[in-house]
Structure 1
Amino acid sequence: MPNGRPQPARDEAELASLVAARLCHDLVSPLGAIGNGVELLEMSGDFPGISKSPELALITESVQAARARVRFFRTAFGHAPPDQRVAVSEIGQLMADFTAGGRLTVELDGSGDVSRPEARMILLALMCMDSAMPWGGRVLVCRTGNGWRLVGEASRTRFEPASWSWLDHRPEAPPQMPVAAEVHFAMLGVLSARNDRPIAWEVDASGGEITF
């Protein structure tokens, strides 16, 4: 701390990733405790028939959905050491959990494993496609020879140029900061630049595509 003044963060995006990882980590324990409590209620003889009650079923489904979302967000937004690997099958499960109960369906065509930063880019790209198809649709995620391709089909799309411009991020012309609901565009743009993985994209009335 030269001259007694604090220095700026070395990498604000990395700091944000660490914050996201910490928040997700701290949410896992209470959600797990609620899930364990529900299981104990189901096994208890003090509440006959409670295991078949719609109220407990709703709590169980909600806890499962929340835990799945936290796992997805922890991988998509959390800290990602480049030397760590993630199985493509695990990415597929995270995608299935993210779209469960929604109008978007996703199909993954790939195998093997990828680096954590690459896994983040895949999941963030799926979130971008989800933003473009809020009324539902289908997304095919394919592993190509040297990268990934996400192709979406829908009967109706929504296009926000300011958010998508983050995927064309140029240091000399930073895009407008997105709203919180579309921060995944900014994170994907930052990861693209940091990992030297240029993104090509397009959105039209019947779907969209992201390639990197």
Structure 2
Amino acid sequence: MTPVTIPAASLDTASGANLASLVAARLCHDLVSPLGAIGNGVELLEMSGDYPGLANSPELTLIGESVRAARSRVRYYRMAFGYAPADQRVAVAEITQLAQDYARNARLTVEVEGGGDASRIEARMLLLALMCMDSAMPWGGKVIIARKGQGWRLGGQASRTRPEPSLWRWLEAAPTPNTSPAPSEVHFAVLGTLAADHRRPVTWRVDAGGAELSF
């Protein structure tokens, strides 16, 4: 696991949002190692001849699947909520893998068009935007992520959606929500703050047939 390096300059001008991203990076970093150890332990048990039949037991299978899902979700959260140096780049292939791993635990199918790389800020915004799409289509759907000029577009199709205008208002240039988002919906506020901080305006639409988000 690559250690998290925090430039001293970032602490001097740290806003509340930046501090929150540093905390998220620290938590995810510290959780990955024990989860990896559990996963390695499961693999050793599967290969061991001391416990016949254990490798194919439903109990060990459940533990293994749960550990893999947890490690995948922690990696996703670290990229989406963690500290993002302005000059760091991320391969689109890595973003694709994270998005598709997330979709396996949701009811979405995700396709990412294009290759190359993206800034870490763009990667954060894409993964947060995917969580917003998931909130809009909790009963399932298909999301296509593609470059759009100098930005990105997420287009979603679903047979049923859950419009929540109060949540999507967090993505406006000057949000005026009446209440704070619930923990399960905090990605809206984080994406809105990130977009404002980096001057990446967000446009969005949610209707009965799906949702769309661009920045």
Q: TM-score normalized by structure 2? A: 0.91
Q: 1:166 aligns with which of 170, 186, 199?
A: 170
* 1:154 and 2:158 correspond: yes
Match of 2:124 in 1: 120
Report deviation, 1:21: 0.5
Match of 1:4 in 2: none
Report deviation, 1:137: 0.4
Match of 1:103 in 2: 107
Give RMSD over aligned pairs: 1.5
Write out per-residue CA displacement over residues 21-73 of structure 1, whole angstroms, 9 at most, x where no aligned residue: 01101110110111011011112221011111111111111100110000000
Q: Could you say what secondary structure the match of 1:138 adopts?
A: strand
Q: 2:36 aligns with which of 27, 32, 53?
A: 32
Alignment partners' CA distance in 2, 1:111 and 1:145: 14
Report deviation, 1:178: 0.7
Match of 1:50 in 2: 54
* 1:144 and 2:151 correspond: no
Number of equivalences: 204
Q: Which has the larger radius of gyration?
A: 1
* Alpha-carbon distance change, 19 to 101 in structure 1, aligned in 2, over 3 angstroms: closer
* 1:190 and 2:190 correspond: no
1:169·1:175 contact (CA, 8 Å) conserved in 2? Answer: no
* 1:201 and 2:204 correspond: yes
2:173·2:201 contact (CA, 8 Å) conserved in 1? Answer: no
**5+ unaligned residues in a row in structure 2: which ranges?**
1-12
Q: Partner amino acid for 1:176?
A: T
Q: TM-score normalized by structure 1? A: 0.92
Write out per-residue CA displacement over residues 101-150 of structure 1, whole angstroms, 9 at most, x where no aligned residue: 43211110121111111100000000000000000000010112210000
* 1:22 and 2:26 correspond: yes
Report deviation, 1:154: 0.3
Q: Which runs of 4+ in 1 moved over 2 A?
A: 173-176
Q: Provide the identity percentage.
A: 67
Q: 2:83 aligns with which of 79, 82, 102?
A: 79
Report deviation, 1:165: 0.3
* Alpha-carbon distance change, 93 to 175 in structure 1, aligned in 2, over 3 angstroms: farther
